[in-house]
Amino acid sequence: MSVQATVEQQVAQLGTNPAMLEQLLMEMFVPDTAQIKRAEGLLKKYTKEPVCVPPLLQQMRSSQHEQARQLAAMLLKKKIVQHWKTFNDAEKAVGTDPSRLVRISVASLIAKLAKTLFATPQGWQELLDLVGQCAQHAQSEDHRELAFVILFELTETVGDVLTAQFDVLQGLFLQALQDPSPKVQVSALKACSALLAYLSMDDAGMKFRSLVQPCLQVAKGCLLRGDDQTVAVTLEVFADLCSSPLPLVNAHADEIIDFLLHILGDAETDVNLKDSSALVLTQLAEAKPKLVVKTNKVPQILQVLMNLIAKYKGSAANSLFNYQALDDDDDDDDDYDGPNPQSIAQACLDSMALQLPTKHTFAPLMDLCNSFLGSPEPHMRKAAVASLGVMSEGCAEPIKARLPDILPKILQLALDESPHIRECSCFCLGQFAEHCQPEILDHAEEVLPIVFRLLDDATDNVKGVSCYVLEMFTENLEPETVMPFLEPLMTRLVQMLQTPKRGVKEMSVAAIAATAVSAGQSFLPYMAPTCAVLGPFMTLQEEKMLSLRGRALECMGHVAIAVGKENFKPYVEPCIAQAEQGLQFNCTELHEYSYTFFANLAKVLEEDMSVHVARLAPHLLKEIQESDGTGLDDMGSDDDEDDAFVDADDDDGEEFTGAYSNIRTSVLDKKKAALVALGSLAEHAPLAFYPNLPLAMETLDNQVDYWHGEVRAAVCSCLEWMVHVANTVFPPEQEWQKGQATPLSQVTGGVCAKVVELLLQFMADDHEAQVVAVACQGLKGVVELVGPAAISSNMREVMNVTNNLLMEKGNCFGQLFEDGGGGEDDEEDDDEDTADGNVAYAACDLVGAFAKVIGPSFAESFDVFLPNILKYTKGSRPASDRSMAVGCFAEVFESIGPACAKYVGQVLPIIKLSLVDSSAGVRRNAAFCAGTLAQGGGEVIVPYYPELLQALHPLFALTSKGTEGGVVDNAAAAVARMIMAAPAALPMDQVLPVFLSALPLKSDRSENETVYTCLLGLIHLRHPEALRLLDPIMAVVAQALTPAAKVQEEIQDTLVKGIQAAAGDLGEPLNAAIEKLPEDLKQGLLQRLNAQ
């Protein structure tokens, strides 16, 4: 090619000089950048003209160079649609090239053409005929393979056309899956998988079931002959089949599970195949939990997975936490070695526990754990405690019920001589602390001393995991529980920050953060030394240390929450400066921690955060808007012809693949943290946030279809605070009244309408339970903020969507055809606990909010909700469901008042059963419900008072500590409501002494107003029994005025004023009762009485 020729002349010659065009194509593969750029420039210009099509087709068909043929095909694929009219009949016969790479490229080209041609009236029947001929070409496996390569590619462009031809294709697939050629089998398998996405949920789609057994046989044969690649392809097909809403695998579920378990249990099988098998099993459990249960293979599944853990001899730290920093700081953190058997098994166990009903998982789990724990082999004991920890989230309810039996075994294992067992025991304790709230807190005095001991363990991994236990445990403890341990705990944690292990440092910092939040103001003496140690961490700049820098910054935010705004003031500006500087690093994890710090700091500073909002809010919105690289690659789309060029060095054509998604978890986490921070700024500094409101609404609206549920859930949370901003800047003329839709300002009304619309959309359409639950919580917040006006214009839709959730109808409740339709098992299925319980819980909370804002007239709507809530009270339901339902009744009855009388007959039997429930949470809510029903039930419930008192009486004998303390407090509040509603209906001489014995309240101090209002009412009425028991009544009042009682200040003031008012009537008896008090109580009471 002459270097003197102009570019235009060279381009013109390409159409008439095949040798020149072939040479130019080949220049794209030479190791010379300048030459490649020159060739690329000419080809870009050439392919813009229609005349490029015939010469490129000729090159694709006849070039002697495979690279030239393949590149010609790839270029044609990008231009062929707009130039199809230039084709002649001979140019269509290009699918017989001897090179597999070229045939694959040709198949891709054909698919591109098909998209256009099948849209015409004439269609392209010749192509389907060609596929059929190739598929049955007995002499050539290449032809047979090409048929299914073409079908695979066609699913991406004309999948709907193929589904209409499935009757014909079904026979081709059956034949190919039994083909002697592995290449043909693999091609057929991939085409099967791709076509599956287009099959409708009707008889046509169900025909695919005939292919499941042949696919399984292909996989078994490949496994026997060691063809792992084909087995892997088959497992991908099974993953799609198991995830399909169609009951395609139901008839073969037993055989499929056996095949998967064989792979998982075979010591010789490649670890990547084990990983794929576990993924299929997980997807089967997620999509079709009832089907898995009906195979009766749950015990076998658990045993295989636990054996897999037992056989793995390595450290559990990375498997448990996916946290490599606990191993060796000299390692490159980016060198991921792939899954190991323990991590594979634990991830699968976690899914089994979360997706399958606990009544089918917990019993076999405990049987296996007890068996493994009795083994002299350390790795068997390690497997038992690791499995119990992993499954504790899904099995939380039965574990909470058996904590007194299970916990001693875990604590004993925490002191085992094997570091792997100690490590896994710590992990198990941390999981219990995270998922078995609040019952686990009753065992703090047993757990914490052992954890403190493990902080001095000889193994760094055990030290690090011990910090995890402390983090999970202490963040939920009351300050008085933490105080005895605070000094030694902080001393040890600060010492651990001197370790060279970065992972241990990070987990120590996390434990310090949780300890600070738990200790509250008691952390103040430790603030300065802690901040002094954390300060240098916040200036770290080495890439591998940036996560520690972020952890330290996050910890400072928790310290701020603990000690309060005034005490933290000296650290505010330095911390903000370091957080903003951290945003300059190209480290998404550090950004995430910075945003978490901003969110926490806003909680502390509130309106004082306003000076920073103008800088932070636009930045956060930009981060939320930022694309994270997910989605399909659109390189070379027809919309951008200049970029429609393919890197000739791309060898991905070796395997034809479908759409891909480039998921960047770190960016996802950053986006979620940015949403949380944005919501926190809006919540705590609404006036300063207001200028950002329009862009914030637009940004949140654009994120409602984001691919990951955690981000969508964060959007739901953030939406609520947009209404708060508008309502703060443009408040209504008067506060909303129950049952009255107070007019909102134009701005607030517009924002509120859009937010409610989006939240209802999430509730009705989203397929992830957690997103739907958070959407319900967001709507609850909006309703409680602006009152009935939030839902007055679309009340019917709001009620219908909420009721559907209580009926477990919606995309978030799993597959429609899991068991092939309804039938005799439907009633039994209603008793199953599911992974979607948090949706029902959030929906019940929402029902309570409706009652709160609508008032007595809500009874009409509640008639519809009632039967759907009643089903959650069945004894076969988990305790959390029963507690949720009874608690919902209580909240509704409290809000609708006398209108609850009509529900006495339906709900009272449930209350009585619930008062003797094995779960403290159920008994607590039942006592609350008994009180609210008595308070609103009027004359209808009075005849049942003796039965209620008899059922409530045993609760007063419970311990006043921990979870049982909440039961006692609610029983006392129930009696108080009964007394206030109908004092003459109770045997006060028997009731009042028992009632007084429970005061002051120890746990549920939200009921303080109820019990003390009752007490003052009896005094003011000069009730004979109250006068007779004036001594213990005054003792209760005096104790309620002490700091230890934690009675709210306003209630204490009411008590003092009430006693002062009664002093004139009671005179000497009252003074005598005060004189009988212990000196400290007497002086405290007199001081308050004389001060007001």
**Apex 934 CA angle, 909 and 887, nearest 5:** 65
**Is residue 640 predicted with pLDDT exceeding 50?**
no
Q: How confident is the model at residue 86 (pLDDT cuts 50, 70, 90)?
A: low
What are the residues whose beta carbons fall under 8 Å from the beta carbon of 371, sequence distance 6 or more? none
**71-80, 125-134, 195-204, 467-476 — most confident range:** 467-476
685-708 mean pLDDT: 96
Task: Using DSSP, state whether 5 is helix, strand or coil.
Answer: coil
Per-residue pLDDT tens for 872-906? 999 888 888 999 999 999 999 999 999 999 999 99
pLDDT at 895: 95
38-47 mean pLDDT: 86
State phi, psi for 1023 to the nearest 5 degrees: -60, 130
User: What separation in angstroms does the CA of 348 have from each of 276, 277, 1082?
Assistant: 11, 10, 62
Q: Is residue 1084 part of a domain?
A: yes
* Cis preceding linkage at 438, omega within 30: yes
Q: Tokens for 223?
A: 């496994």
What is the distance between the alpha carbons of residues 131 and 152, in angstroms, rounded to a whole number? 11
Q: Is residue 601 part of a domain?
A: no
Q: Is residue 1089 part of a domain?
A: yes
What is the distance between the alpha carbons of residues 33 and 49, in angstroms, rounded to a whole number? 25
pLDDT at 192: 79
Q: Is residue 914 part of a domain?
A: no
CB 151 within 8 A of CB 131: yes
What is the distance between the alpha carbons of residues 395 and 361, in angstroms, rounded to a whole number? 8
CB 797 within 8 A of CB 760: yes
Q: How confident is the model at residue 156 (pLDDT cuts 50, 70, 90)?
A: confident
What is the distance between the alpha carbons of residues 758 and 746, in angstroms, rounded to a whole number? 19
Range of the domain at 1067: 1029-1092
Q: Is residue 1077 part of a domain?
A: yes
* DSSP, res 738: T
| CB-count exposure of residue 678 (10 Å: 0-12, 13-18, 19+) | buried
Q: Rg of the chain's alpha carbons, rounded to an integer?
A: 35
Q: Is residue 1059 part of a domain?
A: yes
Task: Using DSSP, state whether 593 is helix, strand or coil.
Answer: helix
Q: How confident is the model at residue 324 (pLDDT cuts 50, 70, 90)?
A: very low
**Is residue 501 predicted with pLDDT exceeding 60?**
yes
Q: Tokens for 174?
A: 């059956």
Q: How confident is the model at residue 321 (pLDDT cuts 50, 70, 90)?
A: low
Q: Tokens for 539?
A: 């200036």
User: What separation in angstroms does the CA of 659 have from each of 22, 186, 723, 889, 977?
Assistant: 31, 18, 39, 49, 63
* DSSP, res 743: P
Q: How confident is the model at residue 65 (pLDDT cuts 50, 70, 90)?
A: confident
Per-residue pLDDT tens for 136-148? 877 777 778 878 7
Q: Is residue 1037 part of a domain?
A: yes
**Is residue 997 predicted with pLDDT exceeding 60?**
yes
Which has the minimum average pLDDT: 333-347, 765-779, 982-996, 1011-1025? 333-347
* DSSP, res 377: -
pLDDT at 981: 95
Per-residue pLDDT tens for 825-871? 444 455 555 545 689 999 999 999 999 999 999 999 999 999 999 99
Strand partners, 481: none
Strand partners, 267: none
Q: What torsion do the CA atoms of 232, 238, 244, 248 make, to the nearest 10 degrees?
A: 160
Q: How confident is the model at residue 266 (pLDDT cuts 50, 70, 90)?
A: very high
Alpha helices in 768-857 (DSSP H): 769-786, 795-806, 826-829, 837-854
What is the distance between the alpha carbons of residues 239 and 458, in angstroms, rounded to a whole number? 43
Per-residue pLDDT tens for 350-360? 999 999 999 99
pLDDT at 118: 60
* Domain count across the chain: 1
pLDDT at 636: 34
User: What DSSP string runs through 25-68?
Assistant: HHHTTSS-HHHHHHHHHHHHHHTTSGGGHHHHHHHHHH-S-HHH
pLDDT at 105: 62
Alpha helices in 982-1067 (DSSP H): 988-997, 1008-1020, 1024-1028, 1030-1040, 1049-1066
What is the distance between the alpha carbons of residues 1085 and 183, in angstroms, rounded to a whole number? 90
Per-residue pLDDT tens for 45-60? 888 777 787 787 777 6
pLDDT at 116: 54
The dihedral through the CA atoms of 840, 841, 847, 850 has a sign that is negative
**Apex 738 CA angle, 736 and 742, nearest 5:** 30
What is the distance between the alpha carbons of residues 544 and 558, in angstroms, rounded to a whole number? 23
What is the distance between the alpha carbons of residues 359 and 568, in angstroms, rounded to a whole number? 49
pLDDT at 163: 72
What number of H helices and E strands is found in the chain?
Answer: 55, 0
Alpha helices in 610-708 (DSSP H): 610-625, 665-684, 686-689, 693-702
What is the distance between the alpha carbons of residues 439 and 962, in angstroms, rounded to a whole number? 7
Instruction: Tell me the pTM.
Output: 0.78
356-377 mean pLDDT: 94
In angstroms, how far is the first alpha carbon of the chain from the final one?
105
Q: Is residue 847 part of a domain?
A: no
For residue 401, give the amino acid letter: A
What are the residues whose beta carbons fall under 8 Å from the beta carbon of 404, sequence distance 6 or more? none
Provide the 10 A C-beta neighbour count for residue 1026.
21
Task: Give me the residue label for tokens 């469901």.
Answer: 881
What is the distance between the alpha carbons of residues 734 and 193, in angstroms, rounded to a whole number? 60
Q: Tokens for 226?
A: 């060691």
Helix (H) or strand (E) holding 923: helix 920-937
What is the distance between the alpha carbons of residues 297 and 310, in angstroms, rounded to a whole number? 20
Per-residue pLDDT tens for 942-983? 999 999 999 999 999 987 676 778 899 999 999 999 999 999
Task: Using DSSP, state whether 740 is helix, strand or coil.
Answer: strand
Helix (H) or strand (E) holding 141: helix 141-164
pLDDT at 248: 84
pLDDT at 826: 46
For residue 971, give the amino acid letter: A
- Rounded to the nearest integer, the mean pLDDT of the chain is 85
Q: What percentage of the chain exceeds 70 in pLDDT?
A: 85
**Is residue 646 predicted with pLDDT exceeding 50?**
no
pLDDT at 822: 38
> Which of 635, 632, 638 has the alpha carbon at shortest distance from 79?
638
> Which of 868, 873, 942 has the alpha carbon at shortest distance from 901?
942
